[in-house]
Amino acid sequence: MSVRSDFRSDTLTRPSAAMREAMARADVGDDVLDGDPTVRALEEYAADWVGKAGALFVPSGTMANQIALGAWTRPGEELVVERGAHIVNFEGGAAGYLHGLQCVTLAGAKGALQADEVRAALRPENIHLPDTGLICVEQTHMASGGRVISLEALSRVAEVAREAGVPVHMDGARLANAVVASGISASEFGAQADSVSVCLSKGLGAPVGSIIAGDEAFLVRARVLRKRLGGWMRQAGIIAAAGLMALRENVERLAEDHHLAREVAACCHAHEGLWAPSDDVETNLVMVRVEHPRFDAATLVAALAAEGVKVMPLGPDVLRFVTHLDLSGADLETLAAALARILGEPTTC
Ligand SMILES: Cc1ncc(COP(=O)(O)O)c(C=O)c1O
């Protein structure tokens, strides 16, 4: 059966007709030689949004994070990070490969680094020990199911970092989701870190691109890293136009994705053997635990695919559903009907 409802990722969104129109009309230049006016406009808007002096437009969230790692650290130093973080688990080992860092992974609590564990992980000055180069936080936290890391938790970590003179990078791939879910501005969250990355191509719906923001001294180093990693693009205004529109127009509507995510959770939770309480869903990610006599995550993914519904397994007994702007109530109905046919239980959710 052809795919009717794709819940695998919020990276799946396709640019709307209005976004394509904005891309076609974008004023462009060679960003490496003379500068691209639309890229500049996006960088200024994004910097202002996260409350930083400036920002750089880069091709991906991974590159934005890796630029931050390279800009803040020296080879041989340590990166302190929560153990489920994207930066250590899903970026191909780049912290070691590109920057010669070793990672100190901490347990955290529901994705949030705890100030005490961070303090304990910081290295004292000693010739035998590595230096702590950087602390990284993730907002929202993907592996824990899109949880919003509270401003209080972030500021306690920021305080420990400040006392120790260690910078903090925020992987804010889904910072906009945290803003909408919490009512706290991006700049308030941004103030808890020295650099912030933001993805434009996830829930915000741009086809490509991310932002890495920080102060002027950071940006000087970040520009060198962007050059070295091959992330400085030419007539990039064509994609920056989509990013600018995404950031201006698609933040508030993330509330719809969060609402749909809670409905997806409730729909799954209504079935015996699927565990996903909707009051546990904070943003657009739903982790469903499969404890079913006939299905594990992989076999349920296959059964749903046969019904035209795509989801991602995240381990042997966890399914990940992600809501985004190309999904609606109709997709929830498709999912509900598919689950009812597969599991032979409730026909409506
Ligand atoms: C938390 C987080 N950080 C960073 C990234 C990397 O983004 P990209 O896929 O654009 O490299 C992702 C992508 O899924 C993510 O979920």
Residue nearest to atom 5 of ligand 1 (CA): 61
What local confidence, expressed as pLDDT, does residue 346 receive?
61
Please work out whether the CB of residue 82 comes within 6 Å of at least one atom of ligand 1: no
> Closest Cα partner for 237 from 94, 102, 46, 39?
39
Type of residue numbered 247: L
Atom of ligand 1 nearest to the CA of 60: 10
What local confidence, expressed as pLDDT, does residue 290 receive?
97
Ligand 1 centre to CA of 62 (Å) is 6
Ligand 1 centre to CA of 61 (Å) is 5
Q: Which residues pair with 224 in a beta bridge?
A: none
Pairing status of strand 132-138 against strand 54-58: unpaired
* CA 96 – CA 78 distance, rounded (Å): 10
CA 79 to chain centre: 19
Q: Where are the beta strands (DSSP E) in 147-199?
A: 168-172, 195-199
Helix H or strand E segment including 50: helix 37-50
Write out residues in the chain with pLDDT < 50, as ranges.
Answer: none
Q: Per-residue pLDDT tens for 300-334?
A: 999 999 999 999 999 899 999 999 999 999 999 99
CB atoms within 10 A of CB 216: 9
CA 60 to chain centre: 11
What local confidence, expressed as pLDDT, does residue 2 receive?
75
Please work out whether the CB of residue 86 comes within 6 Å of at least one atom of ligand 1: yes
What local confidence, expressed as pLDDT, does residue 1 receive?
65
Type of residue numbered 316: P
Atom of ligand 1 nearest to the CA of 142: 1
Helix (H, G, I), strand (E, B) or coil at 170: strand
Question: Could you tell me if 173 and 61 are in contact, meaning their C-beta atoms sit under 8 angstroms apart?
Answer: yes
What local confidence, expressed as pLDDT, does residue 3 receive?
76
CB atoms within 10 A of CB 124: 8
What local confidence, expressed as pLDDT, does residue 343 receive?
93
> Closest Cα partner for 211 from 41, 29, 36, 32?
41
Q: Per-residue pLDDT tens for 206-227?
A: 999 999 999 999 999 999 999 9
Atom of ligand 1 nearest to the CA of 140: 1
* CA 24 – CA 188 distance, rounded (Å): 34
Please work out whether the CB of residue 142 comes within 6 Å of at least one atom of ligand 1: yes
Q: In order of start, what are the domains of the chain with their CATH numbers?
A: 17-249 (3.40.640.10), 253-343 (3.90.1150.10)
Question: Could you tell me if 166 and 132 are in contact, meaning their C-beta atoms sit under 8 angstroms apart?
Answer: yes
* Of 58, 87, 142, best ligand 1 pocket probe by most atoms within 8 Å of the beta carbon: 142
Q: Quote the tokens at residue 107.
A: 């347990």
* CA 342 – CA 349 distance, rounded (Å): 14
* CA 87 – CA 65 distance, rounded (Å): 7
Question: Could you tell me if 115 and 160 are in contact, meaning their C-beta atoms sit under 8 angstroms apart?
Answer: yes
What local confidence, expressed as pLDDT, does residue 344 receive?
84
Ligand 1 centre to CA of 171 (Å) is 8
The 10 Å CB-count burial string (b at 16+, else e) for 37-56 is ebbebbbebbbebbebebbb
Ligand 1 centre to CA of 129 (Å) is 31
Q: Quote the tokens at residue 242.
A: 């989509």
Residue nearest to atom 8 of ligand 1 (CA): 61
Structure-token match 């962007």, residue found: 226
Please work out whether the CB of residue 61 comes within 6 Å of at least one atom of ligand 1: yes
What local confidence, expressed as pLDDT, does residue 4 receive?
86
Sign of CA dihedral 94, 100, 105, 108: negative
Please work out whether the CB of residue 173 comes within 6 Å of at least one atom of ligand 1: yes
CA 170 to chain centre: 10
